[in-house]
Structure 1
Amino acid sequence: MLKLLPVFRVVALLEGVSYILLLFIATPIKYMYKDPQYVGLLGMPHGILFMAYVVIAVLISSDMKWPTRTFWIVLLASIIPFGTFYVDKKYLTKSGRAKH
């Protein structure tokens, strides 16, 4: 399953970017300018990326030998803005994995 690690890193990046765009650009436009089209455009791809992030995290957790606490941090990071970037740096890169 470590073959999924590069895929997980890309999904984590895209999920994080889509979440930031949704929260800080699309949602304010929706409520300030009464224009929901950007939420509609970003919502579905973000939802798919979020689900892919969770599924791949579950699949690679045992191969990565994550303790339960780390696994939950990785999952919770997907609902915190910029969280997936933190996970990538701390748990998915070679320098981050060497520390754990």
Structure 2
Amino acid sequence: MIRTFRYIGLAEGVTTLALFLVAMPAKYWFGYPDLVPPVGMIHGIAFVFYILAMPACLRGRGFTPWEWTRTALASFFPFGTFLNDPLLARKQQQAGAPA
């Protein structure tokens, strides 16, 4: 299940980057606002899915309270899910699942 959550985190991180590095510059630098609503909605869905998937995928997998907090906070910052992925990979390896 940690592997599944890592994929969800990757999707959340990629949609964040798409919003910040593609859609928003297109709106503010090039006057093309049409990308923001669909990319923003996709990112919003990915964010909600990430938050809802946390307990489903990670409960009972040996996460400390700090690791839970860190994993939750990672979704609120650009690059956060990417920076948190090594922790998830270690936990996945400790659980005996292939990385």
Q: Please give the TM-score of this superposition, normalised by the length of structure 1.
A: 0.81
- Cα displacement string for residues 50-69 of structure 1 (whole angstroms, at most 9, x for unaligned residues): 00101111223322221111
Structure number with higher relative contact order (C-alpha < 8 Å, ≥ 6 residues apart):
2
CA distance in 2, matches of 1:78, 1:62: 18
Whether 1:49 aligns to 2:78 is no
SS of alignment partner, residue 48 of structure 1: helix
Identity %: 33
CA distance in 2, matches of 1:49, 1:83: 14
| Structure 2 stretches lacking a partner, 5+ long | 95-99
Residue 60 of structure 1: aligned partner: 57
| Structure 1 stretches lacking a partner, 5+ long | none
Q: State how many pairs are aligned.
A: 92
Q: Given the alignment, which residue of 58, 64, 68 partners 1:71?
A: 68
Asked if the contact 2:2/2:58 (under 8 Å) is kept, the reply is no
- Cα displacement string for residues 37-80 of structure 1 (whole angstroms, at most 9, x for unaligned residues): 11122111111110010111122332222111111100110111
* RMSD value, Cα: 1.4
1:26 Cα deviation from its structure 2 partner: 1.0
Question: Moved runs in structure 1, 4+ residues, more than 2 A?
Answer: 4-7, 58-62
